[in-house]
Every structure is written in structure tokens, then in C-alpha cells.
Amino acid sequence: MRKLTLTILFVCVCSCIATAQQALDPMIDQQIGTLLTTYKALHAAPELSHYEEKTAAFFAKELRSLGYTVTEKVGRYTKPEWTSYGVVAILKNGAGPTVMIRTDLDALPVEEKTGLPYASTARMKNDAGQEVPVMHACGHDLHVTAMLGTAKMLVQLKDQWHGTLMIIGQPSEEIAGGARAMLADGLYFRFPKPDFALALHDAADQEIGKINVTPAYAMASSTSVDVKIRGIGGHGSRPDGAKDPIVLAAQVIMALQTVVSRDNSPLDPAVITVGSIHGGTKHNIIPDEVDLQITVRAYREEARKKLLAGIERVTKGAAIAAGIPDNLAPTISFQTEYTPAVYNDPALTERIAGALGKAIGKDNVVMSSPMMASEDFALYSLDEHQIPTMIFWVGAVDPGKMKQSREGGASLPTLHSALFAPIPEPTIRTSIKGMTAAVLELMKK
């Protein structure tokens, strides 16, 4: 009899979950028109990192209207002149787990070239006081819209879950500063510390209706390195009377590639890219110094440390070989910007993948490879992955264009491209279904 009772209970629980998931589409239908209007308005009015004032205020207002307890301006930056526009919304629904779901708010200094009727023509001043074009070229406007849709769904489905839902509107993701700022302002002390943390991101390389998941390491760490290579300036016609830092910089740039190919295991992905080189003012003047800006990507912390040590060794060794005096040795600054690798907890990922499969169809959940891009969502897991976290990617590309790209080799606009334009309605719909299903799975009664 006990076995029969447990079997009936299990069937009833599964039936309730399936019923809730089947009801998602009609519920989304009721709000999709409003959400599309919201998305287009957000897309047309993007705001740069550190300046997400109106976006954050709108997000907070909408969540408050749904019954969430909302706190604004959560976050503390290292520079006092910066204001954090972080938003934390709490919805308590009895005893149970605390689940945090995060969206990002900021846009990029990109001039939009999509030609869409709701394309951004916005311009703002950046931190340097320069006026720049602004665009949601990474889909954060879509993330905000989908989060609002999810927030409303979970209010309507309160009888299906229990616990504390914590919704985060994070600023400054594009410059990897917002998560750190919110944690520095006591995010997990002022508000409940989550048992799980989830996020989603639109995917520029997956078709609509599909969701990509990656267990374990999903995104690489990112470390910015600033190198100043110094020499002795002089006349371009007399290089023998100088110590040319431009030639030395060129040697360093080429030698750095051997750190990846020869110091690091070929089975342990890593990247060293010199993204900026600045030196000199005129054709015939050998300058005194050259500045390099470098990005380092890796999954494992041991690999990251090895790459950083290699950069220092190669740079200083090249300077010695070039005869640069000790007092003019290169200066190397690590940690100017650092974000750890995103690690999708394997057990959590498997659990969420199952829920996603029930919500959108098992065949539409794709196990994807890790990427070398970075995300400061990683910081919410805390050191040594104390909090199980997971981020998944929602397809945003027209299937026809995906097919043309595969068959003809034409490249699709990537994230951060001036031409990136997700297909709004199906991407928002899949995002809401996916995140709602994920939360229901973790907080089900």
C-alpha cells in the first residue's frame, strides 16, 4: 500500500509540473504584445555601463507593480563618482529554497546599422566625457524583457512553487564590473543568500526555439594586462643611437604566442590576444615607450596563472635581450580587469536541462561546447563555487539564415556587432519558457 501511495504521489507531482509547463504558452500569449512593445522601447533607448539610470528605474517600477519588494541602486564601485543602478527584487512565497535569477541592463558604445524601425540612434557621454553612439548589440534589452515576462509568470504560478525568488537587474556587465559592485555592497548580506543562481543569454549562433546548455566550464576567465615597454628614443635615421621600443614590442607580441602554443597544454584551451598597441608620434622619431593592452582567456585557474607568468617572463626577457637598462625595464600590470571562468554546476545543469526539455522539447535543448568569451555572472557563485550556478543560451537567429550560413559559409552577425538583431518574439517566448521552467524545477512543491 505504501509503494502504491508513493507511486500515485509521484505521478501527481509529475502531472502538476507537466500541466504548469503546458500552460506557459497561453500565459505568454496574454502578455507577448506588451513585452514586444517593451523590448522595442528598451532597444531604442540603450544606456552605457555606469549610466543605466532609466533602464534600471523602469525595471524596478515594473517589478514593483507585480508585487515584488524592490531595492534600487544596489552596488558600490571603486570610484565614488560612479553610481550603481543595480536592482534587487524579492518575492517570498513560504518556506523553501532561495533562487536568484539575473538579467543585465547595460548597452555598448556601438553605432547600430541594422536598419530596424526601432533601431537605436542614441548617443551618450562615456566615462572619458566623449560622446559615443550606443546600441543594445548584446541583447541585454531582450534579457530585461524576458525577465519581466518571467517575473509575471512566476507571480501567476505561485501555487506551483515555494521559497524566495530573488531577481537581479545587474548594471555594467559589459565592462565586468556590475556583479562585483553588487557583491561589494553586501548583496548576500542585505538580501537572502541564494541556494541557486541562474542566468540566460541570447545566442547569435543558434536558431530560435532552441536553448544551448554547457555543463562544467562554460565560459573562460578574462584577465586584462597592461604592458608598458620602454626604450630610449631618438632619430629614425639613427636607430643605433637609440633603443627602439617599437621593434621590442613587435618581438614581444610574436613571442607571446609561444606561451600558449609551447607553455600550455594543447588540451587546455587558452588565448593571449594583444588588442591594442600604441607608440610613437611621427614617421622619423623613435619613441621612448610603447603601450600594449592584452586579454588573457583560460578555463582553469592554474592555466591562467601560467599564462600570466609567461607574459611577464617573455616581456622582461625580450627587454634584457634587447639591452634595455634595468631602470627602463618593462612594467606589467595584471588584474586591471578580471573575471573568473563561468562554471555551470554539472548536477544543476543536468537538472535544469531536463526541465528545459519538458518545456520546449528535448530535441530543442542542445549540449554546446564551452566558449572563450567571459561573463561576470561567474562572481555570483563565490570562490570555490559555493553557490551552484548555471547560465544557458537562447537561440535568437532566423532558421533560414542559419541554414544559409551553414551551406554557403556566409557569416552571421555576432554579439557586439552593429548588425546584430535577434528575432524578438520567438526569442523572448523561449527565454520566458526556459527561465520559468528552470525556476519551477528548483522551487517546486
Angle in degrees, CA 293, 296, 299, rounded to 5? 165
Helix then strand then coil, in percent of the chain rounded to 5, is 40, 25, 30
Question: What's the whole-number mean pLDDT along residues 118-138?
Answer: 97
Q: What pLDDT shows up at residue 179?
A: 97
Q: What pLDDT shows up at residue 408?
A: 83
Same topology between domain 24-220+341-443 and domain 221-338: no
User: CA-CA distance, 197 to 387, in Å (whole number)?
Assistant: 7
Q: How far is CA 354 from the centre of its chain?
A: 23
Residue with cell 544606456: 47
Q: Are strands 221-230 and 289-298 parallel, antiparallel or unpaired?
A: antiparallel
User: CA-CA distance, 137 to 73, in Å (whole number)?
Assistant: 24
pLDDT bin (cut points 50, 70, 90) of residue 5 is very low
Q: Is the pLDDT of residue 6 over 70?
A: no
Per-residue pLDDT tens digits for 26-66 = 999 999 999 999 999 999 999 999 999 999 999 999 999 99
Q: Which residue from 271, 291, 378 is spatially nearest to 333, judged by alpha carbons?
A: 291
Rounded to 10°, the helix 424-443/140-156 angle is 50
Write the CB contacts of 244 (distance below 8 Å, at least 6 apart in sequence): 231, 286
Q: What pLDDT shows up at residue 335?
A: 67
Q: What pLDDT shows up at residue 21?
A: 52
Per-residue pLDDT tens digits for 60-102 = 999 999 999 999 999 999 999 999 999 999 999 999 999 999 9
Helical spans, DSSP H, in 265-338: 301-321
Q: Which residue from 433, 416, 424 is spatially nearest to 153, judged by alpha carbons?
A: 433
Per-residue pLDDT tens digits for 282-302 = 999 999 999 999 999 999 999
Question: What's the whole-number mean pLDDT along residues 253-269?
Answer: 94
Residue 212 DSSP SS3: strand
pLDDT bin (cut points 50, 70, 90) of residue 10 is very low
pLDDT bin (cut points 50, 70, 90) of residue 22 is low
User: CA-CA distance, 389 to 382, in Å (whole number)?
Assistant: 10
Q: Is the pLDDT of residue 273 over 50?
A: yes
pLDDT bin (cut points 50, 70, 90) of residue 336 is low
Q: Is the pLDDT of residue 1 over 60?
A: no
Q: What pLDDT shows up at residue 379?
A: 97
Beta bridge partners of 115: none
C-beta of residue 169 within 8 angstroms of C-beta of residue 70? no
C-beta of residue 374 within 8 angstroms of C-beta of residue 221? yes
Q: Is the pLDDT of residue 11 over 70?
A: no
Domain spans in the chain, listed from the N-terminal domain onward: 24-220+341-443, 221-338
Q: What pLDDT shows up at residue 445?
A: 87
For residue 224, the tally of other CB atoms under 10 A from its CB is: 17
Q: What pLDDT shows up at residue 337?
A: 78
Q: pTM of the prediction?
A: 0.91
3-state secondary structure 50-116: CCCHHHHHHHHHHHHHCCCEEEEEECCCCCCCCCCCEEEEEEEECCCCEEEEEEECCEECCCCCCCC
More confident residue, 179 or 337: 179
Amino acid at 215: P
Per-residue pLDDT tens digits for 164-221 = 999 999 999 999 999 999 999 999 999 999 999 999 999 999 999 999 999 999 999 9
CATH 3.40.630.10 correct for 24-220+341-443:
yes
Q: Which CATH class is domain 221-338?
A: alpha beta
